[in-house]
Amino acid sequence: MPGTTADSPGSPASPGPVTADDLDRAVRLAVDALHGAPDDGWDGKAGALDWSCWETCEHLGDDLFAYAVQLGPRNPPLEGEVPFVWESRRSGGPHNAVHADREAGPAGLLQTLEASGALLAAMVRTASPRTRAYHPFGVSDPEGFAAMGVVETLVHTHDLAQGLGLEWEPPADLCARVLARLFPDVPVPEDGSEEDSDSGPWAALLWATGRADLPGRPRRTEWRWDGTPRPPRP
C-alpha cells in the first residue's frame, strides 16, 4: 500500500506540556503522509466517517483555523465562537469556514491544511498562557488549543489513511502528551513500543476518540475531551 509511517514511534517520553512545536510536528507528519495518496482517491469515503476524504481534509484544516481564530481577538470570546460563517456545501457534509479550491487539486488541499496548522501554531506561540477562549468542550488556554489541534490532526489523518490506503502511526510521545492533557480519564500506557502497538498511546488515543476497541473496553459511541486549563506544573 502507498504511504508513509510517522517518525520516531518508540517509547513515549514522560507526558509534559503540549506545545506549538508538537502541533507543527503533527501537521508536518500528516501532510507528508497524505502526499502519498493517489489523486483519484480523494472523493472516496474517509474511514468510518460519512464524509469524503476531500471533505475530511478540509474539515481538519477548518478545525485548526477555528482554534487559531478563537485565540485571536484582544478579548477572546468565552461564551461562543468567533462569528465566522460555517456552512456545509452539501447535505450531511461538514460545516466549514475553510474550503479548498478544487481546481488546485490535492496538492492545493494539503497546502490549505498546512497553512491552517501554521496559523494555530503561531497563535499558540504568541498568546499569553493566561489567555482563555471558548470551546464547546470547555473554555481553554493556548496549550489546550494546541492539544486539540494535535488530536484533530492525528485522528483525522487516521480516517484519511483508512480511506486513501495509507500507513499512519504517529509518534507515541505526541499521543501520550495529548492524552494526558485532554483525556485525564484515559490511562496513558507506559509501553508504546512497536511490539506493543495495540496497547500503546496511539491505540489509547484511537479508543478515546471512538475509533478502536481496546482489550476489555468496548468502542466508545460517545466521547469528549476536557479542554479546561490544568493547574500550573511545579
Tens digit of each residue's pLDDT (9 = 90 or more) over 138-154:
999 999 999 999 999 99
| 3 state DSSP class of 214 | strand
Domain boundaries, the chain: 20-208
The string of DSSP codes covering 44-87 is: SB-TTSSSBHHHHHHHHHHHHHHHHHHT-SSS--SSS---PPPB
Q: Report the share of the chain in percent with pLDDT over 90.
A: 79
Residue at 227: amino acid letter: G
The model's pLDDT over 173-184, given as tens digits with 9 standing for 90+, comes to 999 999 999 999
94 CB burial (10 A radius; 0-12, 13-18, 19+): buried
Q: pTM of this prediction? A: 0.90
Superfamily the domain 20-208 falls into: dinb family like domain (1.20.120.450)
Q: Is pLDDT above 70 for 99?
A: yes
Question: Which pLDDT tens digit goes with each residue over 22-40?
Answer: 999 999 999 999 999 999 9
In 10 A of CB 81, how many CB atoms?
15
Res. 231 pLDDT band, cuts 50 70 90: confident
